[in-house]
Amino acid sequence: MYCTALSSYRQCIQDGLLACLSVRVLTKSTKYLGHLTSIIQNLGHSNFNGKY
């Protein structure tokens, strides 16, 4: 009984850590994508203006 409770507790911790990690990765990737799109837009604008 104690062993199963411990294993389920450990599984719960693992699931929580995994969820936290995936959320972190998602937020980081969306930030990175935002930076990338802004950089591409800036490049496009500078190309269009002939300054690049």
Q: What is the pLDDT of residues 1-52, one digit of tens each?
A: 566 777 888 888 888 889 988 999 999 999 999 999 999 888 877 666 555 4
Q: Is the pTM of this model over 0.85?
A: no
Tell me, what's the pLDDT at 51?
52
Chain mean position to CA 3: 35
Where do runs of H (alpha helix) occur along 1-52?
A: 2-49
Which residues, other chains included, contact 46 with Cβ-Cβ below 8 Å and sequence gap of 6+?
A: 52
Q: How far apart, in whole angstroms, are the C-alpha atoms of residue 42 and residue 34?
A: 12
| The predicted structure's pLDDT at residue 31 | 93
Distance CA 29, CA 34 (A): 8
